[in-house]
Structure 1
Amino acid sequence: MRLTDAQMAAYEEQGYLVFPDLVSLEEVEILRRDLMRVTGIENEGVIREKSGTVRTVFRVHDELSPTASPPFQALATLPRVIDPARQVLGDEPVYVYHTKCNLKDAIDGAIWQWHQDYGYWKTDGVDRPDMTTSLLMLDEATEIGGCLYFIPGSHKLGRLDPEMDETTTSYKLWTVPKDQVIDMMRRFGDPVAITGKPGTVVLFHPNIVHGSGHNMSRHSRWHIYTVYNQVSNRPHGVENPRPEWVVARNCEAVATGSDDGILRRAGSDADIGRQRPAAE
């Protein structure tokens, strides 16, 4: 799948692209079912809300991970997913920097503060924002359900000096200071709600400022994020690096896989049923 010149221009101008129905409902159901299995694994890569419900699951793409999921491994290499990501990164070799599944359960799903993803990744030793994120909606994303919001064009500001928020939610996050967010909204306009049906894919720049509200609905809002980084941009050594479940140590280029990869991986009972140890 190749992006058109108009799509490439839109990505550069707005900082994101939306692809409705890019993943089939059958594929979404396979992914959702296996994610439900993975949420039952006790591991440090499974983050829980203060209420005890699962907030985030990391590293589902890596077969060596305790949270490994064969369908999600296939998702990361689908031509319709990885090829556009590679294209916006200049058709350079890419690898999966990390995967995370954000699960906002009905009523319980908490907010994600305003932030830039590269605000954190820079501290991991990544020199350039030559990265992109592919978001797949496993549920319908609605405003009442705590959908993502983007400030279109905010990626043009580059990386902003973040501040660490350790208290708002159960997950510590490098956030954009409130006064800067307000100034940004004055400059670029009000945030845009990123809504869509299951199977919608959103490709977005690591410097776009984004956040999401509490899930006030009776429906869950599950999203899977696959982050691609140029192999030449892999992190260099930093003091006290974050663990492998959030920053991949395997930086080998990922090849484009089969377009029916999710369906084929779902057919392997041995793969889907396996449970890895809770600790590596």
Structure 2
Amino acid sequence: MSDVFTLSDTGDFFVSTSVQNTFNENGYVIVRGLITKDEITKVKDCIEQSEDIKANAFGRADANGRTSRLCVWNRAGNDVSGILARIQKVAGTMQQLLGGDEIYHYHSKLMMKEARTGGAFVWHQDYGYWYNNGCMLPEMGSIFIPIDKCVKENGCLQVLKGSHKMGRIGHALTGDQAGADLERVGMAKTLFELVHVELDPGDVLFFHCNLLHTSSQNNSDLRRYVIITSVNKRKNNPLQEHHHPQYHPLKMLPNSALLECDLFTSTEDKGFMDPTEDASHKIKNLKS
């Protein structure tokens, strides 16, 4: 079963039965060229010129002391990076893949692995964190949108295909990051295919919150910037307040809204996250 899909002859993308079955079976799908060249250029200009991102970025060290920078915001906002998370072909596709129930913007982040210095991210499941935030159901997902080319050399995402079927497993602290139980990950590697998700700017990866994934250090001369937008279902509204938001309407937009937007700084509060308030990476021992 192929995990890669392309646009229709008219340049549109639809969640067909084949797409849905692939997502359900593999825990992810890849859509080539979902974001056009002009659109991704606008997003790139936005993140590189945004004073908000510069002011709110912080580092996260791996177990070997190498650091990647990230910037996290809880509300989409109305700037270019926020519109990207709200357009139909991004948010609407994820909503369909998760079954069609209403979703909301849980958070977005810009992940920055600089050339020759970017750190690794340990094996983990996103729901390994989010369950601890009071999200009781694994009915959540993430949308991985590369701004730069993502290849093995610069630390592209790696996934264990189908590993979401294992359900949530235990997580514990490794460096500044909370990672999945390595013994269980080792066993999972004997059952599930390891896939290096190599993507071009504008390709999009949609993946389930229980999919095991990791990424290695960037030892190349290629920068690796990606935006990851995570969504939750309205019916899965967290049962406790934490550093990510409770349900609020997504206000989905037509695809045309991205190129029509000229704001590189949102006039709406994006709720940039203070890293000292992030409890996710401070998990000491989260058992399944």
TM-score, normalization: structure 1?
0.84
- Identify which of 175, 179, 183 aligns with 1:179: 183
Counterpart of 1:47, as a letter, is F
The 1-side partners of 2:272 and 2:137 are apart by 34
- Identify which of 62, 79, 89 aligns with 1:80: 89
Query: Contact (CA 8 Å) 2:148, 2:225: kept in 1 or not?
Result: yes
Would you say 1:15 and 2:33 are equivalent positions? no
The 2-side partners of 1:54 and 1:156 are apart by 29
> Which SS does the other structure have where 1:214 is aligned?
coil
The 2-side partners of 1:220 and 1:83 are apart by 29
Q: CA shift at 1:73, angstroms?
A: 1.2
> Which SS does the other structure have where 2:131 is aligned?
helix
- Partner residue, 1:157: 166
Q: CA shift at 1:252, angstroms?
A: 2.0
- Partner residue, 2:71: 57
- Identify which of 99, 102, 127 aligns with 1:90: 99
- Partner residue, 2:251: 255
> Which SS does the other structure have where 2:86 is aligned?
coil
What are the residue-to-residue correspondences of 1:101-250 with 2, within 5 Å? 101-165=110-174, 167=175, 172-189=176-193, 191-237=194-240, 241=242, 243=243, 247-249=244-246
Among all aligned residue pairs of Structure 1 and Structure 2, give the percentage whose two residues are the same amino acid.
24
Q: CA shift at 1:142, angstroms?
A: 0.5
The 2-side partners of 1:129 and 1:178 are apart by 21
Query: Contact (CA 8 Å) 2:66, 2:117: kept in 1 or not?
Result: no
Number of equivalences: 259
Query: Contact (CA 8 Å) 1:39, 1:54: kept in 2 or not?
Result: no
Query: Contact (CA 8 Å) 1:61, 1:70: kept in 2 or not?
Result: no
- Cα 1:157–1:147 change in 2 (3 A) is same
Counterpart of 1:57, as a letter, is C
In the alignment, structure 2 segments of 5+ residues that lack a partner are: 1-12, 275-288
Query: Contact (CA 8 Å) 1:42, 1:278: kept in 2 or not?
Result: no
TM-score, normalization: structure 2?
0.82
Query: Contact (CA 8 Å) 1:31, 1:72: kept in 2 or not?
Result: yes
Query: Contact (CA 8 Å) 1:39, 1:46: kept in 2 or not?
Result: no
After superposition, what is the alpha-carbon deviation per residue over 1:83-142, rounded to whole angstroms, capped at 9, x for unaligned?
111112221111001101111111111100000000000000000011111110111100
Q: CA shift at 1:173, angstroms?
A: 2.4
Shifted more, 256-265 versus 226-235: the winner is 256-265
Counterpart of 2:231, as a letter, is Y
- Cα 1:149–1:53 change in 2 (3 A) is closer
What are the residue-to-residue correspondences of 1:27-38 with 2, within 5 Å? 27-38=39-50
The 2-side partners of 1:186 and 1:175 are apart by 19
Kindly report the root-mean-square deviation, in angstroms, between the aligned alpha carbons of the 2 structures. Answer: 2.7
Shifted more, 151-160 versus 87-96: the winner is 87-96
- Cα 1:256–1:278 change in 2 (3 A) is closer
Shifted more, 140-149 versus 31-40: the winner is 31-40
- Identify which of 46, 58, 62 aligns with 1:47: 58
